[in-house]
């Protein structure tokens, strides 16, 4: 076994080296050695280490027959590749793919729940919950002979989706959520309970959307649900899937008698599909950490032999008023290399900050003074290419403007503004905390707002950093170049 792991790790290293010069490939985000990644799966803190499994196609840079890839980290920052954890079994209930799911600790036995695909993948009837038991090092997994352990027939509903189990323990019982869609009704989260993890009783829907209205949470299917307790309050997180669009929703509310009653709903990330299929773990410090899938824009990466990136971990907490707070964990500071600061800059137009970079962490504090302000990154000296991270206090929007990000015209390359509602309180400064990793941008604003984006500038010299505003003040900015994790 040790030899097998070593040869896998060596092969993974060689594959990564082959991409060493790839312009748009991130350097401090996790992504597989090559080929396709989508959802984070089964994230678990186990024996003092962070394990990250992920939807993985080892055969190509496109979504295909999906396996579970695996990586482990001691420090939340550096990741080591490990052998594939789950592979579809020909003739088994997962022969069409091992789709998303979770991992739990069952009396010291690592236990994975995942979606097996037993027929035509897009049909809810093909989607079933399967179980696998792991070795103590989480390297080898045995699929349970009772698989599938939950099927869509158990609901008696006419479903258009039934996938992505999320399991937790409450008292002496286990509970399982399954993401679903009810035909002509909308997305839903279904709830099951069990005493032994094998036999499950359907308890009904935890929550059902309504696709005829168009509030934020509509859509045909809700994917990757998770119910997160924060003391006696709860946050329900799920992905809304609708033709042509998907985004992650967070609802704060109450969970009583196996039903969830939302009190407050928001998009978790204004980057919509660039932070999707979110999943969390709780570590020994009691921190709730979340990862999401950052997908590509355009087809160029597929041709390059890789596609899909894991977000940085986000630390979650809940404010007294029910706002979900999100921040980068402190461990990321070990990536910091050179440091530069600027103070008290009056902004009237764009102002070059005398710095360039493709791998940066920026922490900026602005006084907008009533008009739009922000940072312009990946900017070419002639300004033809540039990406704006902006706050507009008049329209009360915060976002990433990609209309000039790239002069390229590759198929599917977005040229848009990704924004969502955001308002500063009276006298509150704008605090932007930004991670730029080549084509990946992750923005955290004032502890309570995130936008994740992808951009692919064409010009090699699109690396400048500017601040802009119209009467705004950049009170302080800290800029670090960041090291690679590979």
Q: Return d(Cα 220, Cα 152) in angstroms, integer.
A: 16
Q: Among residues 249, 189, 243, which one has the least CA distance to residue 215?
A: 249
Q: Return d(Cα 44, Cα 50) in angstroms, integer.
A: 6
Both tokens assigned to 243:
């033709």
Q: Return d(Cα 68, Cα 97) in angstroms, integer.
A: 9
Nearest-approach distance from CB 99 to ligand DQQ, in angstroms? 3
Pick between residue 28 and residue 222 the one whose CB is nearest to ligand DQQ.
222
Nearest-approach distance from CB 154 to ligand DQQ, in angstroms? 18
Q: Among residues 118, 197, 190, which one has the least CA distance to residue 154?
A: 190
Residue-wise over 462-477: b if at least 16 C-beta within 10 A, else e?
bbbbbbbbeebbbbbb
Pick between residue 39 and residue 361 the one whose CB is nearest to ligand DQQ.
39
To which residue do tokens 């764009």 refer? Answer: 350
Pick between residue 223 and residue 464 the one whose CB is nearest to ligand DQQ.
223
Pick between residue 26 and residue 165 the one whose CB is nearest to ligand DQQ.
165
Check 21, 39, 299, 321 and give the catalytic one. 39
Q: Residues in the site for ligand DQQ, rule: CB under 6 A?
A: 38-39, 55, 66, 99-100, 115, 163-164, 223-224, 239, 276-277
413 Cβ contact list (under 8 Å, min separation 6): 297, 298, 300, 406, 456
Using CA atoms, how far residue 147 sits from 55, 70, 93, 123, in Å, is: 20, 22, 7, 18
Hey, how many other C-beta atoms are within 10 angstroms of the C-beta on 447? 15
To the query of whether residue 39 is one of the catalytic residues in this protein, the response is yes
CA 200 to chain CA centroid, Å, is: 29
| β-strands 35-46, 306-307 pairing | parallel
- Contacts of 131-134 spanning 24+ positions with Cβ under 8 A: 131/197, 131/198, 132/86, 133/109, 134/85, 134/103, 134/109, 134/110
Q: Return d(Cα 128, Cα 203) in angstroms, integer.
A: 17
Both tokens assigned to 85:
């954890």
The phi-psi region of residue 21 (left if phi > 0; otherwise alpha if psi is between -120 and 50; otherwise beta) is alpha
Nearest-approach distance from CB 190 to ligand DQQ, in angstroms? 14
Nearest-approach distance from CB 357 to ligand DQQ, in angstroms? 31
Pick between residue 134 and residue 292 the one whose CB is nearest to ligand DQQ.
292
Nearest-approach distance from CB 254 to ligand DQQ, in angstroms? 26
Nearest-approach distance from CB 101 to ligand DQQ, in angstroms? 8
Pick between residue 275 and residue 486 the one whose CB is nearest to ligand DQQ.
275
Nearest-approach distance from CB 130 to ligand DQQ, in angstroms? 12
Pick between residue 84 and residue 325 the one whose CB is nearest to ligand DQQ.
84
Q: Return the active site residues.
A: 39
């Amino acid at each position: 076994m040790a030899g097998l792991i070593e040869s896998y790790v060596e092969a993974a290293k060689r594959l990564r080296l082959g991409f060493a010069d790839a312009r748009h490939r991130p350097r401090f985000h996790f992504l597989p050695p090559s080929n396709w990644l989508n959802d984070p799966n089964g994230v678990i803190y186990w024996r003092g280490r962070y394990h990250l499994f992920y939807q993985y196609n080892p055969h190509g840079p496109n979504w295909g027959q999906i396996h579970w890839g695996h990586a482990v980290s001691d420090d939340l920052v550096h990741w080591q590749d490990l052998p594939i954890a789950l592979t579809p079994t020909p003739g088994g209930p997962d022969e069409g793919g091992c789709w998303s799911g979770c991992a739990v600790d069952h009396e010291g036995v690592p236990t994975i729940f995942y979606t097996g695909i037993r027929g035509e993948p897009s049909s809810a009837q093909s989607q079933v919950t399967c179980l696998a038991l792991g070795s103590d090092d989480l390297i080898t997994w045995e699929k349970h002979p009772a698989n599938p352990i939950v099927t869509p027939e158990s609901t008696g509903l006419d479903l258009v989706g039934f996938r992505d189990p999320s399991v937790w323990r409450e008292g002496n019982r286990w509970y399982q959520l399954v993401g679903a869609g009810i035909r002509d009704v909308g997305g839903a989260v279904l709830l099951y309970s069990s005493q032994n993890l094998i036999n499950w009783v359907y308890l009904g829907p935890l929550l059902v959307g309504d696709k005829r209205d168009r509030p934020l949470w509509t859509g045909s299917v809700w994917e990757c649900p998770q119910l997160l307790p924060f003391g006696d309050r709860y946050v329900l997180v799920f992905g809304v899937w609708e033709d042509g669009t998907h985004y992650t929703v967070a609802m704060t509310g109450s969970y009583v008698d196996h039903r969830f009653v939302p009190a407050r709903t928001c998009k978790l990330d204004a980057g919509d599909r660039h932070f999707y299929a979110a999943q969390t773990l709780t570590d020994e410090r009691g921190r709730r950490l979340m990862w999401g899938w950052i997908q590509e824009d355009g087809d160029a990466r597929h041709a390059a032999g890789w596609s899909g990136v894991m977000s940085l971990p986000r630390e979650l907490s809940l404010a007294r008023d029910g706002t979900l707070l999100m921040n980068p964990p402190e461990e990321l500071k070990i990536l910091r290399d050179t440091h530069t600061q600027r103070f008290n800059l009056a902004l009237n137009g764009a102002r070059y900050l005398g710095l360039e970079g493709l791998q940066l962490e920026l922490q900026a504090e602005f006084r907008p003074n009533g008009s739009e302000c922000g940072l312009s990154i990946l900017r070419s000296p002639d300004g033809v290419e540039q990406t704006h991270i902006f706050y507009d206090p008049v329209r009360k929007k915060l976002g990433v403007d990609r209309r000039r990000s790239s002069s390229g015209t590759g198929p599917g390359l977005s040229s848009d503004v990704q924004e969502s509602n955001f308002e500063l309180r009276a006298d509150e400064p704008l605090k932007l905390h930004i991670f730029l990793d080549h084509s990946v941008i992750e923005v955290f604003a004032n502890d309570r707002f995130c936008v994740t984006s992808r951009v692919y500038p064409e010009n090699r010299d699109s690396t400048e950093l500017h601040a802009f505003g119209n009467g705004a003040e950049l009170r302080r900015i800290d800029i670090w170049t960041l090291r690679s994790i590979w």
